[in-house]
């Protein structure tokens, strides 16, 4: 699989490898054609700093990759996927920083204790109908995760590789590996 580095944390790479992935890390500015030449089983869009709207090149690349191979986005990667799917992002009044942020996984009703570090969010009302909201922040009801029902792509706003709780969100790496095996 290919991981785009927008500020990629080593822990994410360890989690992907722990789930059986062979990971090739590429710079954030790598083109879709160059990534597809690597024939990846999946694409990972990493976390990183700043305003997602300022990285139009990354949105354009992701638009060219979506539907070709499974895509998983975390934090900034989640926001970039929201933009690539036609949604909008906005600046949070205070941002989400630190550990112990409660997030509800809507399909199961489970509460995950998450680690977060971001100042922007995806506006769920701007996403296309085929995008299903999967996670909601219980502190302020902001979007924390979504899944596209038509293509193998999903993202979460928080950091599933972090360990604020008993690895509450490890299942997301399992889901990504499952999507790659289905292709």
The active-site residue out of 75, 78, 105, 112 is 75
93: which residues sit within 8 A by CB, 6+ positions away? none
DSSP string, 56-72: HHHHHHHHHHBTTB-EE
Q: Indicate if 21 belongs to the active site.
A: no
131: helix, coil or strand? strand
Catalytic: 75? yes
Residues 118, 96 contacting (CB under 8 angstroms): yes
* Catalytic residue (choose from 78, 96, 118, 159): 159
Question: What torsion do the CA atoms of 165, 45, 177, 166 make, to the nearest 10 degrees?
Answer: 0
Options 60, 105, 161, 167, the catalytic residue: 161
Reference 145, options 130, 131, 157; nearest CA is 157
Whether residue 161 lies in the annotated active site = yes
* Separation in Å, CA 136 to CA 26, 144, 156: 30, 5, 10
User: Catalytic positions, please?
Assistant: 75, 159, 161
């Amino acid at each position: 699989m290919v991981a785009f580095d927008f500020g990629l944390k080593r822990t994410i790479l360890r989690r992907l490898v722990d789930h059986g992935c062979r990971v090739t890390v590429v710079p954030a500015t790598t083109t879709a054609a160059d990534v597809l030449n690597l024939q990846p089983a999946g694409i990972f869009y990493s976390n990183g700093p700043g305003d997602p709207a300022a990285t139009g090149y990354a949105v354009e690349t992701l638009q060219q990759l979506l539907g070709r191979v499974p895509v998983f986005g975390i934090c900034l990667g989640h926001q970039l996927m929201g933009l690539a799917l036609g949604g909008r992002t906005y600046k949070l009044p205070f941002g989400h920083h630190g550990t112990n942020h409660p997030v509800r996984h809507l399909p199961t009703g489970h509460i995950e204790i998450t680690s977060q570090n971001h100042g922007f969010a995806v506006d769920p009302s701007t996403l296309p109908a085929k995008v299903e909201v999967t996670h909601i922040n219980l502190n302020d009801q902001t979007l924390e995760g979504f899944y596209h029902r038509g293509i193998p792509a999903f993202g979460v706003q928080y950091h599933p590789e972090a360990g604020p709780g008993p690895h509450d969100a490890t299942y997301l790496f399992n889901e990504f590996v499952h999507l790659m095996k289905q292709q």
